[in-house]
Amino acid sequence: MKKTYLIFFLSGIFMISCQTNMTGEMETKNPFFEKYKTPFNVPDFEQINNDHFMPAFEKGMEDHKKEIEAIVNNKEEPSFENTVVALEESGASLTKVSNVFYNLLLSLTNDTLQNIAKKIAPELSKHRDDILLNAPLFSRIKIVNDNKDASELNSEQAKLLDETYKNFVRGGANLGEKDQEKLRKFNKELSLLSLNFGDNLLAENNSFTLVIDNEEDLIGLPEPVITSATETAIRKNMEDKWVFTLQKPSMIPFLQYSEKRNLREKIFKAYINRCNNGNEYDNKEKVAEITILRFERAVLLGYKNHADYVLEENMAKEPQKVYDFLNKIWDPALQVAMKEADELQKMMDAEGKNGQLHPWDWWYYAEKLRQQKYELDEEMLRPYFVLENVRKGAFYVANRLYGLVIEERTDIPKYHKDVQVYEVKEADGSHIGILYMDFFLRDSKRGGAWMDSYRKQYRRNGENITPVITTNFNFTRPTGDKPVLLNFEEVSTLFHEFGHALHGLLSNCQYRSLSGTSVPRDFVELPAQIMENWAAEPEVMKVYAKHYETGEPIPENLVDKLEKSKHFNQGFVSVEYLSASFLDMDWHTIGKTTEIDVLDFEDRFLNNIKMIPEIIVRYRSTYFAHIFSGGYSSGYYSYIWAEVLDADAFAAFKETSLFDSEIAAKFRKNILERGGTDDPMILYKKFRGAEPEIEPMLERKGLI
C-alpha cells in the first residue's frame, strides 16, 4: 500500500539557521535548518530529535510564505517559469521536515510525536489553504493557464500547469469569501479527525492481548506459532505464558490452527470490534463526522458528493463506473464464496460440530480443507521463505528486469536498529537512490505495510535530485536461533511494497509533484501488484525459496501444490475485499448531512449487497484506516482495478519470457519512469498497445 499524506507545493533550497534559547545562549543547530552531512543527503536520524520538529515546521511555513509573497509581488508578466515553476519549487524546508516527521509518525511513533501531529495539523491545514485561496496567486496561475496554447510547453510542463490550476480550483480558489471560510473550517476539522482516528486504532490494537496460561489451550497450534507467542509474552513481561495479539502475523495463524473455538471467537471478535467498544478509542463518532464533513466540503466545491470529488482525478472518473466495475466481479465472487461456505459447513458437520459456520471458523476449516484437497499446509512452505532470501529474490527480479544493482550500506543513518538501508544503482554503477526497509512489527508502528519517500526524485537547475524511499512491514521478529520465516502472503507483500519502491526509485521526471508515485490512486497499485506475479513463478522461487536449515531449494512438488491451490479460497478473499470496496463507496456517495448511526449504516449496507454471514467485510468502518486516516477514500477499489491492469501487463511477459528485456524496458520507460506526467491510460497503452480487459484477472482468480 502506498501511503499519501499532506500535499504541498514544496521543494527547493534548504535554509541554514540556528535557534537561540530564552537566555540568549545558542542552542544546538536544528538538523532541518542546514544540509544534512550524510551520504546522498539522507535524513540525519542520528542528530534529529523530537525537539527539532516544531521549530522546523514553524520556520518551514514562514519561509514558504515569503516565497509565495515573492511570486505574487513579481512585477513581471505571469509566465510558466516565474509563477508555476516558482510555486513548484517553493517550500523546500517545509517538505524536508514534513517528510521525516510523517514517516516517523507512522513507523516509530510516541506520545510526543502524536501531540506534535495534533498541534501542527490545523496549522498546516491553514497554511495549505492560505496558498490555495490566495487570490493574487491564483490570478497569476489563471493568466498562465489561459495563455497555455501560446506558451509552447512540452507535455510535462503542460501537465504541471494543468495539475496546478486544477489544484487551486479544487482547493476552493473560485469560491466566495464566506464559502472559503467554510472550506477552511472543514479542512482543519478533517485534518484532526483523521489523525485521531489513526491514533485510536493504534492504541486499540495495542490494548488487546489473548493471554494463554494453560498449555492445553495451545492444541492444534504449530510449534513456530507457539514459539512466537512465547517470545511475545516475554517482550510483554508475561513469562510462563503465551500471548497473541491483533497483529495479523499473530492472529491469523491462531485462527488457522487453534482447535479452541471459543478462543478463536474471542480474538476474532476483538479484531472486528476495534474502536467500536464505547471506550476512549471508539471511532464511530469520528467516522460519522468525517463522512459528513467530506460530503459538505464536496458540495461546497460544486460536487454531488465526496466520491465525485475524488474520482474526477482517478482513472474511473465517476462513482457509477466504480460500482459497475465492482458488480462485475461481485456476482461471480459471491457465488464462489457461497460454494466455499457450503463445503466448509459440510466439513464442520462431518466432524460432529453443532451449529452454523461462523467467521471465526472460516480460517480454521479452510486450512484443514486445503490440507485435505492439496496436501498443502502453510507451515510446510514457511521453512523455505527466509526473509533475507525473499528480499534477495525481489532484488534478483529487479536486476533481471532492469539491470539494477542493490547493495546494503552500513554508513547511512537509520531511525531504528532493525532498519536495513540499501543503495540502488544502474548496471553501470551510477547512483539511482536509497531504499530503507523496515521489516518488523512493534507497538510504535502502524499496522499493515506501505511505501513512502523521504525525498522524491526531480530535477532542478540541471541537477537530478535522487530519491530516498522507505518501505515498512509488520513481520514477526525472529525467535530463538531461527531466521525470520514468512508465509506466502507475506512473501507477496514484500514483493508488492518493493514494486511501489521501484516506482519511486526509477522515476525520471522534471517536477517533484509529478514524479514517482504521484499518479491517480487507481493507477498507483499497478507497479506493486505486477511484482507479486514474479514471487509466485517457479523460476523465481528456485532462486529465493530455500530451506532455512539445509539450503535446499523448495521441492517441485510443493511448488506444484501451491500452483494447483492458487484458486483455493478465492471466493472468500474476493468477497472480503470487494465488500470493503463497496463500503468505502457507500460512505462517500452518501447524500445527507443529518446524524449518522454508523452500525445501522453498516447493517443496511451488508443487506444491500447480500453479504453472506460466514464472511465479515475486510475492514469495518471503525478500523477502516485506508479511507478514514489514509489516502484511499473513494479509492479502496484501486487494488482490484490495478489487478485488471497487472494481469494484462504480466501477460505481456508470459507471452514471451519472464524476463523479456524489451518488454521490461517498455514497462520502465512508460510506467515506472513517467510518474504522473500523462494520463495513466495513455501511459498504459504506450506500454501494452491497448486497454486491458477484465477477463484475465477473473480467470486468474478462478472466478470464471
Question: Active-site residues: which are they?
Answer: 497
From the list 202, 295, 259, the residue with the least C-alpha distance to 623 is: 202
Q: Report CA Rg, the chain.
A: 26
Q: For residue 534, what is the enclosing H or E element?
A: helix 526-535
Q: Are 53 and 97 in contact (CB under 8 A)?
A: yes
User: Quick count: other Cβ atoms within 10 Å of Cβ 542?
Assistant: 14
The amino acid that residue 516 corresponds to is: G
> What does the chain come to in residues?
704
Cα 522-523-528 angle, rounded to 5 deg: 110
- 375 and 562 Cβ atoms separated by less than 8 Å: no
Which residues, in sequence order, are bridge partners of residue 453? 469
Left, alpha or beta for 218 (phi > 0: left; psi -120 to 50: alpha)? alpha
Residue showing cell 486450512: 367
C-alpha span between 517 and 672 (Å, rounded): 9
Nearest Cα neighbor of 93 from 127, 134, 140 is 127
d(CA 235, CA 568): 36
Torsion of CA 192, 203, 227, 546, to 10 degrees: 0
Residue 248 CB partners (closer than 8 Å, separation 6+) = 447, 474
8 Å CB contact between 585 and 633: no
Under DSSP, is residue 547 helix (H, G, I), strand (E, B) or coil?
coil
Rounded Cα distance between 318 and 122, Å, is: 30
C-alpha cell at 463: 541537477
